[in-house]
Structure formats: structure tokens, C-alpha cells
Amino acid sequence: MLVYINGEIVPEKEAVVSVFDHGFLYGDGIYETMVAYEGVIFKLNEHLRRLYRSASLIGLTIPLKVDRLESALYETLSANVLKNAYVRLTVSRGPGPIGLNPDLCPQPTIAIMAQESKEYPELLYEKGVHLIISETKRNLKEAIDPRIKSMNFLNNILAKIEAIKRDAYEAIMLNAQDQLTEGTISNIFFVKDNVLCTPSVACGLLDGITRGTVIDLAIKENIQVKEGEFLKEDIYAANEVFITNTSLEVMPVSKVDEKTYPVGEITKRLHQAYKQEIKKSLSSRKKVP
């Protein structure tokens, strides 16, 4: 693998970061994960807008303008001879003396990694995946703004450990009011009485790019959408459930804790609509040569 780091594309063994980098020391930084299909990075503008929003919310100045960062992403794909790829863009506070003051770090670290994307087993989309409601609560939105896609992922990791221990694919976290928020790497949707429900961002969750796309597609499909405050009992009472993120797209859920669900028609419709949205994006002019 070749990695972009601070303006250079180098072999992964040479893509090193200082132990004094505040991303390493304190998790002080932001990131975005994206997927390229046939040489086109899907929803790139939306991902970059969110990246710069995250940077603004933590007082981090990204030293590259949007067009240069976009070029760097495509240069990394091209260097690795990839058309269909998982792409991660990370911007940390950068190296500096030990201490929490951001002013100690004059130059952020920018890293881009791209690796071949592997399709999820079709059986998962046919049968669905198992989720749990974790005991680990979502960080208070008043403590860490959920609009920041931060490198500090310990909250999510603790919930993921619970899922692994219970042989589940993903864990859903509740907030301090015991309302549904999101998974460790996904947003959650469920269908009740033909209404598509998903927790509101006001509950303390990241406004996922795929989440927003699915909501827009549902409206186009004349599916009623309700963003609101929901308890775990609401998802237990659902007719169908699915999760979303950039790489999973629309993944059906077969079980939440001990409650089971079929792979429903609305889930199937929205996944198909999402696939069509990807195809539309392939007409974009910006492709890997």
C-alpha cells in the first residue's frame, strides 16, 4: 500500500507519525471514511464539508484547500491503482510538546489511506445481522459535540467490545436519557406501521452521510420518515430494522437483543434505491485515470 502523508505518497512502512503527534497522544484529530466505486469517490463533497465542519468545531485549521485535498484523495487512489476502494482521510493536530494546548502543534498531520474494498457477503444482506443494545452509553452531546467526527473512539470501542462478547455484529448505544442514538460505526433505522423511523441528531449522534442519503431516498420513494426520540422498546416493536454507513450501505438487521425481524420490503427498496444513487454518481467527471 502507498500512503499519502503530508504532501507525499510513500510506501506504508515509511508512512510514520511522530510519537509526539497529538492525534496519537490525545486522540486530537478528525477523520472521514469514504468509498470509491469505479474510480469515483461517492458523496465526496458531503464528506469534505463534514471534515471541514469537524475541523472548525475543534479549532483546527486544515492547511489544504478543498480542491487540493480532493486531488490528494484521487492521487492516492491512482498511486495504488484502485478503482473500487475504501478510503480514509485523517487530519490530526500534529506533533508538538506534551500538553493539551492546541497551540503547541503548529502543523497538522494529514494522512490518506486507500485499500481495495471487499464486498460484504451477500448472505448478510439476505439474512441480516445481529445487534445488541449496549450498556455503554453514548457520550453526552454537551461533553463532546456529536457533529465532530473525532479520532477519539474509545466510547464506541467499549460498546464494540460488548458486541463481540455477545457474538453480535454491532452495538446500539443509548444516551443518558435511555434514548436510541447510533451504533458504534453506523446509524440505525427501523420501520413501524410503514413509517421509517430514525433517532434525531438532537439525541446525540453523528449525522451520517449515508443516513442523510437514505432519508432523502425514502422521501422520494413516498415513504413517511420520522426523526425523533425513541426508546429501545420502540425498536423491539418494529417490523423491520436496518443500519447504514458508507461501506455497509443499507444492511438489514435480523435480531436486536432477543427480538427477531424479517428482511423487510422497505429495507430492500431503500437498498435498491441506494444502489441506483451510486450508479448516478458514476457519471461524475472526476475519476481515477
| 3-state secondary structure (DSSP) of residue 194 | coil
C-alpha cell at 113: 489511506
Catalytic residues: 149
Count of Cβ atoms closer than 10 Å to residue 239 Cβ: 16
C-alpha–C-alpha distance, residues 47 and 158, integer Å: 26
Helix (H, G, I), strand (E, B) or coil at 95: strand
- The answer to whether 134 touches 169, Cβ cutoff 8 Å, is no
Asked whether 209 and 217 are in contact (CB, 8 A), the reply is no
Cell representation of residue 16? 510514520
Contact assessment for residue 104 and residue 97, using Cβ atoms and an 8 Å cutoff: yes
Grid cell, residue 132, equals 445488541
Using an 8 Å Cβ cutoff, are 37 and 281 in contact? yes
C-alpha cell at 94: 500534529
229 CB-near residues (< 8 Å, 6+ apart): 177, 179, 199, 200, 202, 203
d(CA 93, CA 95): 7
Q: Are strands 187-192 and 240-245 parallel, antiparallel or unpaired?
A: antiparallel
What DSSP string runs through 219-274? HHTT-EEEEE--BHHHHHT-SEEEEEETTTEEEEEEEETTEE----HHHHHHHHHH
